[in-house]
Structure 1
């Protein structure tokens, strides 16, 4: 028989949850508050409210160019990581390939490799073999570190899928490609969407790889923010950060409309 939770324990849990929420959300509140400040300097709380820093960011060639590069790379990475990671997860789940367990470890291995070590290695390899870095370098390097998230979320969904649906489709005359596209892929959809969400956000926010694999004219938005903070910090960096927060919230709302946050989170 399960014992009732005591009142002091309930109070302690509530306090812990509230403090955790404050600890997580307080920095975001500060960032948004600073972005609305009229002051020339980073200060919170703002003495007066203004949208001047959003106007400055949206009219700045450096910020817009960096955001466009980050967006292009993130879209390419999302498509590539979802296709490769989803296919790998399906193959690993079916266990029809030799050494499927080793393959799973291989595809998840970038999670345990320090990003800075991988960035240095990628820079040395690319410079020695292909020459100067380019947007392709960022695309491939970001894809490598995002594939594990797609593989993990897709495998989590497939582990709870009904294995008899594909057998039923085969019994009714569906060929291998039809079974894959009409049965397996729909079952994987929550995991694929979750993995694509993580891939986009990780690529768009990635700063370490972008710092090592940059050149004049190839600066991503996180690197642009870092440079602004290092040399001439002002509330414009808070405005850019708030826009990025808004982009993440918009993606979550889109997923909620298409899939449902509950189903998305369960993957």
Structure 2
């Protein structure tokens, strides 16, 4: 029989959770506070309060161009990874494919492969067999690193799917494409939404693959932030980082509003 939990364990556990939360949120607090600093340089705590850096970011052609490139890149990545990942998850979950375990492990291998090693390999492949770094190469690289997230989330949705609905549609004479588009895929929408969320955020925030695969005419927002920190660090970096944090928070709230985070998790 399991004994009762000692009284001193609960307050200790609460303190541990609070400490972990502070450890995780402290960097965000520093970034947000630095973004409203009136100083010309990144300092914490901020010396005075000012919103000039947000106005500078929103009026900067360099930041806006980089943000548009990152947005376009993320949307193309989501479209590719969601299409390929959903199809792969359906095939692996519904059909007995020879070597299914190996194929599944191959799809999930980007999760354990260091991003730096993958980026170097991708650069070598496109330098030898392609035209070198390009936006197309970035899309391919981001699709590869985001594909495992889509496959895992869609596979989890398929595990909770009611098989009797598909069987009923088949008995009613529905064709295969009608069953997939009207019965199966609607039941996977929460997994697809979660996969799209992960794919968008990973692609939009990626700096490692973009560092190796960027072309002279292609600059993503993380690379713009990196360049600013390297040559002329000022609070505009904190301001654009705060905007990216707010964007992620808005996406999470939208997912919770539409699907519910409990269902997605």
Answer whether TM exceeds 0.5 for this pair.
yes
- Normalised by the length of structure 2, the TM-score is 0.96
- Residue 99 of structure 1 deviates from its aligned partner by 2.1
- Residue 4 of structure 1 deviates from its aligned partner by 3.6
- Residue 2 of structure 1 deviates from its aligned partner by 5.3
In structure 2, stretches of 5+ residues that fail to align are none
**8 Å contact 2:69–2:220 — kept in the other structure?**
yes
**8 Å contact 2:135–2:215 — kept in the other structure?**
no
- State the superposition RMSD in angstroms: 1.3
SS at match of 2:8: helix
SS at match of 1:133: coil
| 1:7 matched residue in structure 2 | 7
In structure 1, stretches of 5+ residues that fail to align are none
| 1:251 matched residue in structure 2 | 251
- Residue 95 of structure 1 deviates from its aligned partner by 2.7
- Normalised by the length of structure 1, the TM-score is 0.95
Matched, 1:176 2:176: yes
- Residue 252 of structure 1 deviates from its aligned partner by 0.8
| 2:167 matched residue in structure 1 | 167
| 2:70 matched residue in structure 1 | 70
Equivalences for residues 38-49 of structure 1 within 5 A = 38-49=38-49
| 2:58 matched residue in structure 1 | 58
Moved more, 28-37 or 45-54: 45-54
- Residue 164 of structure 1 deviates from its aligned partner by 2.1
| 2:114 matched residue in structure 1 | 114
SS at match of 2:169: helix
- Residue 5 of structure 1 deviates from its aligned partner by 2.8
SS at match of 1:48: coil
Distance in 2 separating the partners of 1:98 and 1:184: 23
Equivalences for residues 65-214 of structure 1 within 5 A = 65-214=65-214
Distance in 1 separating the partners of 2:7 and 2:241: 41
